[in-house]
Amino acid sequence: MMSKTVVITGANSGLGLETCKYFVTEGYRVVMAIRNMEKGKKAKEELLTFYPKAEIDLFYLNLADLSTVHDFVRSFSEKYKTLDLLINNAGVMIPPYSKTEEGFELQFGCNHLGHFTLTTLLLPLLEKGANPRVITLSSIAYRNGKIDFDNLDGKKGYKAMKFYCQSKLANLLFAKELDYRLKEANYKTKSLAAHPGISSTNLFNLGNEKTPWFIKLIMKLIAQPASKGALPIIMAATDETLKGGEFIGPDGLGNRKGNPTIQTPQKDVYNKNTMKQLWDVSEQLTGVTFNLNSSK
């Protein structure tokens, strides 16, 4: 049997690395799409220490620079002719105000627009895969999110957490709208969203500073380990009963920790007008279009 191929962004640490471990043990060919190649090499060596027969590939990808997204897809396409799973995991959280290479606010640009571009470009290869899926990572922070179309670049004011929540809402809306459009165009690729609850990962660095001791103490009390936080991602990627469009997260209090289950987002989150506007703006800003009816 041909081994399946999974691309995982931000695969060298935290949730990404834990997700890699699962797919390696299941015999997948794991492609780690990462920004820091040195850390990526260390992560690959660590994985091979425990799983010597694993098929692991490293590719450079910086979601804050769309030219590298295009480069990644070109390099990947030269080596692989199909893709079975794309896991849009990488992200940045509450940095000081900064911009991507294209001038987008960093969190919206990296967390949403980078993955929007990557998914668009990889879709033809996904359609050739076996039961292909796209899993996009959101967060319970989406609950406090609002897409401010008049200030996506932060020029009219910037609050790090507000913009993080916006980017995670964008992830959730993108995953749902993508699945709707895929079904409308009779594609076999499914799109789902997942969130890890509150998990102890290196995302919890405040800007460029090291995490303060009291934050680490609080995290120990309220968070679950990354290995548990990765379970909703794995369920979204592998559960054969899922139809596409679902949102998977922990089942505990406030969905902060627990076992993975299908969740119902807050009322009115999936606003059709907002989802369409976000899609149109994303195509306009990134310069990529899905062309769902003609790309097959």
Residues 6+ positions from 195 with CB-CB distance below 8 Å: 137, 138, 139, 140, 142, 168, 232, 247, 248, 249, 255
Residues 6+ positions from 89 with CB-CB distance below 8 Å: 8, 9, 10, 11, 15, 16, 19, 135, 137, 233
* Measured distance CA(103)–CA(111) in Å, rounded: 14
Residue 97 a catalytic site member: no
* Measured distance CA(153)–CA(170) in Å, rounded: 14
CA end-to-end distance (rounded Å), the chain: 25
Comparing C-alpha atoms, which of 31, 32, 37, 33 is closest to residue 83? Answer: 31
Cα 206 to Cα 18, 44, 94, 202, 211: the distances in Å are: 22, 27, 7, 10, 6
Catalytic residue among 164, 180, 187, 270: 164
User: Which residues are tagged catalytic?
Assistant: 164
